[in-house]
Every structure is written in C-alpha cells, then in structure tokens.
Amino acid sequence: MGRPLKNPHAEAEQFRRRAVLAFLAVALSLAGLAAWYFKLQVLDHAAYATRSEANRIRPRPVIPARGMIYDRQGRLLAENLPAFRLEVVPDKAGDTEKLLEELGQLIPLSEEERERFRRERRASPGFRPIPLKLRLSDEEMAAFAVNRWRFPGVELQPYLTRHYPYGELFAHVIGYVGRIDEKDLEELGEAGSVLTHIGKTGIERAYEDILRGRIGYEQIETNVQGRALRTVGRVPARPGADLRLSIDAELQRAAVAAFGDLEGTAVAMDPRTGEILALVSLPSYDPNLFVNGISHADYRALQDNPSRPQYNRAVLGGVAPGSTLKPFLALAGLDSGVRRPEDRTLSTGMFYLPGTSRGWGDSHRGGHGWTDVRKSIAESVNTYYYQLALDMGIARIEEYLVRYGFGQPTGIDLVGESSGILPTPAWKMKQRRERWYPGDTVNISIGQGDWKVTPLQMVRGTAALADGGRLRRPHLVQARRDGFDAPWVPLPQPEPALISDRPEHLQVVREGMVATVHGPGGTARAIGVNAPYLIAGKTGTAQVVSRRGSGAVDPRSLPMHLRHRALFIGYAPADDPQIAVAVAVEGGGYGGSTAAPIARKIFDAWLLGKLPEGLEPLDDSCPAGAADCPPPGAGGGAGAGGGPAAAAAMPSMPASAAPQAPAAEAPVQAPSAAHDPAGGGEGQEAPP
C-alpha cells in the first residue's frame, strides 16, 4: 500500500482550533491575573498597606526612669544612677567563645555572666545586642575604651541603674528591684516583657505601679531582615512618681545604733498620724547586691546566715507579747465592766485554779500584796491578770483584743504582712484539734503560750493608748509627686477606729504605764532616771523555752538562741505623746534591762536630737548637741516635748501604784492544756 496523502485543509483547520484554544487560555489567565492584581491593589489595598507598614515600622519600647524615694527630710533613699553595660551583637562579633576568652582577659567576667550570655545568645537573633556585663567600673570602662578596636560588635551602652545610698539601713523598708523572672512575667503579662527590672520587696514592690511610670515607644524603620534603619516617630515615656516617706533617716540610724550588737526589731510611730518614723529589723543586708543579679556566693552567705538577714522581723515576724499585753487586757477589763479602777486582787506569789495543785507564779516569790490596775501595770503583777482573764472569759477577751488590732494585719503599705496569732478556742480546735481549757485562758492573760504579735501590732496599739484610743493605720508613704517640679500630694489615710469610749479608763491605763517608768517600783524605772520628759511604757519578756520542775529559768544562763525575748512598748512625752515605740530584742533576757534602754535612746534621738554615743549626725552643718540644732522630730511636725517642767506634771498616783519595793519582770509559761486537762500551770520567778 502506498503512503496516505496529506490534507492541507484539515491540518490548517486543526491548527486554527488549537490556536484559538491556546489564545482563550492565555486570555483567561491574563484576565484572572488582572482580576487578582485588581483585588490586591484596589480592593485589599488598605489591609495590605497596613501590614506592609507594620513590617517596615516596628515599635521599640522606651523604659521610663523609675521614681525616686526620699525620707521625710528630703534625703534620697533610692536613686537612679547613670551606668554602662557591655553589649555584644553576635553577628558582628564572630566567634563568641573566642570573644569571651579574650575579653575576659581584659575585663573580669564571672562564670555566671558567661553562662547568662550563652543562654540569651541561643534564644535571641544574631543581630540583637545581648548584655554581657552589667555595671562596669570606671577602670573597666577605661580599659575597654583603649582596646575597643579589638572587639567588633561589642559596645558600651548607657542606662540608669537603681542605687540605695544607705545600703543596709533601709533594706527592710525600701526593699530592692531585681531582674524580671518568669514568675514576674506571668503576673505582668505581655506588657511586662519589655521591662528589665521590677520591685521585689519593700516599698519598691508595694508601690511598683506608681514608681515604674508609663512605658514609651520609638517607631523604628527596619529592613526585611529586621535591622533598624532609622527612627521615624516617638511616644515619650512618662517617668515614675517620686515618693516621700514618713521615715526619718537620722532616727533610723539612731535606732540601729541603739541595738549595738543585739538582734531584733524596733518600730517608731507618730501616734497622732500613724506615720512610721523608724522601722528596724536586725541583722540587715545590702539591697544593692540584688539590683543587677546577686552572685551565688553572696546569696549563699545570706541564706546560710542563721540570723536570717533578709527576714523582716517587724512585718513578717512575731513573738509572744509577754507582759506588754497587760495594758490592753487592763483596758478590756475596765471597759467591759469586769473591773473598776479601785478593785484590788491579792498576789501571794502563786495562783491556783480551783481544784488544782499546780499553779502560775508571780515575779516576786512572796507576791505583790493587794494590787489594783495601776500597780498591776507598773509592777507587772501576773496574778491580777490571771484572775481578770478568768472573770472575763475567753470570748470577751477575744472581742476586745480584736478591737485593739491583734490577730489581724495593721494594713501597713508593705506586702506580705503577718496577721499574727490571737489564741482562741476556735483557733486551737482548727490548729490542734483540741478543746480550750481554763489553763489556756490563764496562760494567754500574760501574753504567753500560742500568742504571736508583730512589732507593728504592738506599736499601733500603744499609739492608740497614747492618742485617746484612736487606732490608726500605720503607713510609710507620706506623699507623691508626678514630676520634679510638681507639688507633693499627700496620700489619703483611712479614719482611725476608736478602741474605747471611756477616756477615764484610758487615763488609768496611761497612769499605770507612766508608773512603770517613773514609779519607785516600776519595772522600767531605770530608763526614767534623769529623763527630761515623761515616758509611759510597759516591759515584757517572752519565754522561748519552758522550765522544768519548780525552778526559775534565768535567761542569762541560757545560750543566746534560747534566751527569752526582751520587749518594751511605750510613748513619750507621756503628757503630750509625739512618738510611740515597740522594741523586741532576740536573746535579750528581760525587757526592763535590755529592750527599755533601746527605747529610751530612740526617744532621746527624736525628742532631743541626742544621738547614741559614737554616732555622728548626717547633716555636718548641724553637729550633735549644738544649741541651734532642732531635734529630728521638729522637722516632721513632732518636736521635743517635756523637759524639766514635764516631770513635775507627772500624774499623781495612789499608793497602790507606787510601791516601795522594786519589781522585776519575769516570763511565765504555763503547761499546755494538752498535757494538763485541768488547766493547771507552773509559775516562774525572776532570778535574784
């Protein structure tokens, strides 16, 4: 067969059909592409323009300057200092391990700083600067400046760092700021990710929102790799507000010096306003160690210290009040109608519950004889309160002591305040699953047993006794200002609560407290010698270990950590109260011999401007003892009071409140009702 003949017409027709189909396909594709371009360029223009601009312009946070903190006289307690840190841009620095080795030969780099840099290096893009060393010294900055050419990608960056000029003096008041951790980020949310530091303790934490200020932003133009090119806009940051505290730095120093080598806590308060004038917890620590990250060695030294320097004894701690509870229980007895001022109780040296053979003792082996309320406070007569507590009953005792502020936080402007423990039947059943016995009531009447009060609660209650029964909220911050040129604005405080509506009963209690210091048989009469102003006070001793048998425990015979805690509460001048004080000394023995002298030095510093021996004044222009130097209290609205004329104004006391034989303060520890269902207790006497 031969080959088929070609059909040119059929082939031409087939080509035309194929060409038309191809043209239609190309046309449809071009139409679809045109429609898509139209959608992108016209219909979706606004959305994509916004996204494009967001990719090109990125906000960079600007951290505001933190607010300053001042004392009541304008002394700077927390400031921002210019500092320099060493930052590394890994993309420019090359081999970072080699860089660390060579740079470490020039500037000391700890292993902690190296490890922190490595962690951040792994988690960050290579073009972002990573801090390597914070807070370079002048010598280190000079050494780097000379050798800067050797380290590409390494720069010195200025910033503001927090600094506490007084160091340990205000560690438990001001607190400190520290680097933000994961827990802080959880609390702050996304906004906190731009911050580097946050208040951790003290005022820095309690007023974090006020001190921090408002974060600002810079609008930075970037390229496709995210590198910054230029700044195209700015939303300024608002600095944090400054705070002025009621604390007086001079009085704070005097309180610390008054303790000497002893450990404990002291709180001074203006009874007329609730302002805290001094708050001391010893031993203390340097808060500057924590600002840019404390070293493992320094942190371990603090943690291993058995005295716990970081523990704020005034706010978080608590002790049994001992006999410092007696003025409050005496007032409760009067206000409840269970006792009248002239009612007397016979103290024979031992007190027994009906039907029991084991008893509670008084501070004198032979007893104090017939005792009324004034004498019971001045000589610290336990028997008066044993019987009073039984007559009142635990329910009524709880009612009045809650009114006086015990068993609840004071509301001071610090975080984490302890509420203490006010022993009651409900508390005992909840904590120990045990019923309440009459012996428990007797035991708590002299501030022993399961009691736990903070020095803040003690000074608050004492201030209420001094200020006509007005129970005020203790506070540390007086005022704030939003800007250097702005006026100081006082922070409002709640109205005080009235703990008693019987001024005559308050006066009886105050007379007993005056007799404690100025009466011939008072337990704190030693601090009243040569005092140019009247002091009202009450000593106390909180027992740490119980005794065995019928013998007394002499705290001076015990190791320091087992010795009784010495306590004192008081205010001065007694006829014009301007300062109230609560002192607790750990291992101090007796309140009258250890805690009361510390309080006297605090009174002298505030009322007379007389600093403890060896302490130079902060203001060199006003030497200690100079005639033209006003006392510290004068600058804050509380000047010196009393004087020789004040001593003559001492209230007259009945014979029962001015015994001829001196009294000694002694702790008493009754056995737990768990061991003695009948509630019997053992008395303890002061060593001769």
Inform me whether the pLDDT recorded for 329 exceeds 90: yes
Give the highest mean pLDDT range of 58-62, 220-224, 242-246. Answer: 242-246
In this prediction, residue 89 carries a pLDDT of 82
Q: For 209-222, how does the pLDDT look when each residue is reduced to its tens digit (9 = 90+)?
A: 999 988 887 676 66
Q: For 120-143, how does the pLDDT look when each residue is reduced to its tens digit (9 = 90+)?
A: 777 667 766 777 887 788 888 888
Can 323 be counted among the known catalytic residues?
Answer: yes
Tell me the pLDDT of the chain averaged across its residues.
82
CA distance 582 to 603: 11
In this prediction, residue 668 carries a pLDDT of 40
Helix, coil or strand: residue 22: helix
Residue 447 near residue 542, CB atoms below 8 Å: yes
Partners of 319 in the β-ladder: 453
DSSP 575: T
Residue 96 near residue 88, CB atoms below 8 Å: yes
Q: For 580-601, how does the pLDDT look when each residue is reduced to its tens digit (9 = 90+)?
A: 999 999 986 777 889 999 999 9
The model's pTM: 0.79
Q: Which of 566, 524, 564, 569 minimizes the C-alpha distance to 545?
A: 564
Residue 654 vs residue 134, higher pLDDT = 134
User: In this structure, are strands 69-70 and 242-245 parallel, antiparallel, or unpaired?
Assistant: parallel
Partners of 197 in the β-ladder: 179
Q: What average pLDDT does range 428-449 have in this prediction?
A: 93
User: Which one of 323, 380, 418, 445 is the catalytic residue?
Assistant: 323
DSSP 650: P
CA distance 64 to 152: 30
Q: Which of 590, 555, 560, 586 minimizes the C-alpha distance to 319?
A: 586
Inform me whether the pLDDT recorded for 642 exceeds 70: no
In this prediction, residue 621 carries a pLDDT of 47
Q: For 615-624, how does the pLDDT look when each residue is reduced to its tens digit (9 = 90+)?
A: 888 875 454 4
Measured from the Cβ of residue 147, the count of other Cβ atoms closer than 10 Å reads: 15
With a pLDDT cut of 90, the percent of the chain lying above it is 51
Per-residue pLDDT band at 549 (split at 50, 70, 90): very low
Q: H-helix or E-strand containing 538?
A: strand 536-542
In this prediction, residue 655 carries a pLDDT of 37
Q: Which of 272, 302, 304, 257 minimizes the C-alpha distance to 284?
A: 302
In this prediction, residue 144 carries a pLDDT of 85
Distances (CA, A) of 159 to 81, 135, 162, 389, 573: 8, 9, 10, 62, 49
Burial 192-204 (b: 16+ CB within 10 A, else e): eeebebbbbbbbb
In this prediction, residue 553 carries a pLDDT of 52
Residue 674 vs residue 256, higher pLDDT = 256
Residue 19 main-chain phi, psi, to 5 deg: -65, -40
- Cis peptide bond prior to 423, omega within 30° of 0: no
In this prediction, residue 293 carries a pLDDT of 81
In this prediction, residue 209 carries a pLDDT of 92
CA distance 621 to 623: 6
Q: Which of 492, 573, 497 minimizes the C-alpha distance to 532?
A: 573
What spatial distance separates the first Cα and last Cα of the chain, rounded to whole Å? Answer: 148
